[in-house]
Amino acid sequence: MKPGRVWCLGSINADHIYRLPRLPTPGETLPAIGYRRMLGGKGANQSIAAARAGAEVHHLAAVGHDGAWMVAALADCGVDVSGVVMLDEASGHALVMVDDAGENAIVIHPGTNRALDLPQVTAALSRLARGDWLLLQNETNLQAEAARLARDAGAQVVYSAAPFEVEAVSSVLPFVSLLILNAVEAAQLEAALGPVDVPHFLVTKGARGAVWNDRKSGETVSVDAHSVPVRDTTGAGDCFAGYVVAALAMGRTVRAALRLANAAAALQVMRDGASEAIPTLSEVRGFLAQD
């Protein structure tokens, strides 16, 4: 299996996670029954998942002077952070509320995630090679610019288009090899734009699994979700996306990549938190061996 190189232009956030008996209603003050701070952000989560799946991962991002601990945590997970710069403003952070059923509500302050500099990104992506993979989300600026650079370098461009915005997706779509959306987002996108012209379209459906569509051949690959006790769904989609991209970058078939990512997400939701809950490849293999 080839090592696979994945480049991720993505957010780095400090996640402030509050465990609640239920999610609050508008105007309600509700005491938390638990609190943790950990590394998060869709970009960081996906980079960690790809690294734990076995890929060589390079992360491009910006943090403030309050974010040195997050960069160190990302590096500790085996991610190359030489493309992360420090700026004179607050790092991105998120308020994550999780109820007893594992459902969540999240408020995000983008901070430095939306203050990336084009020369920095251009310089970092100059090391892209044909056959590499670039993974993007909608929590940074310069998504379309990075996607164009990657496509021109012969890399595969993957857009995990969340948080979902039609305008953001439209700007990146011309350069995308693989578009990843959940079922709600996919319906919103096609309602706004009609059938999407993209080579590959992966729709995640939570407890109903995931479906891969090859728009050229018409081939469809589906996987069912595993039935597991849910502790916390935070970051499960990021875990799935990172594992899928890493597996494809390492030369696995689509079905094998989906199977691996599906199992990784199942392990993720049985644990608390986002980045710290992402399983290792050996854990995923062990889980699949019991299936």
Q: Which residues are annotated as catalytic?
A: 238
DSSP state of 196: -
Contact 59, 45 (CB under 8 A): no
Contact 66, 42 (CB under 8 A): no
The CA distances from residue 271 to 18, 105, 235, in Å, are: 14, 17, 11
State the Cα–Cα distance between residues 230 and 241, nearest whole angstrom. 19
Q: Residue 234: which of 27, 85, 19 has the closest Cα?
A: 19
Nearby residues of 72 by Cβ (< 8 Å), 6 or more positions away = none
CB atoms within 10 A of CB 154: 11
The residue written with tokens 């995000």 in the block is: 108
Backbone angles phi, psi at 239, to 5 degrees: -60, -45
Tokens coding 142 = 């310069």
State the Cα–Cα distance between residues 122 and 111, nearest whole angstrom. 21
Q: What DSSP string describes 161-174?
A: --S--HHHHHHHGG
Cα atoms in the Cβ-side hemisphere of radius 13 Å centred on 11: 29
Give the alpha-carbon dihedral of 213, 218, 219, 222, to 10 degrees. 40
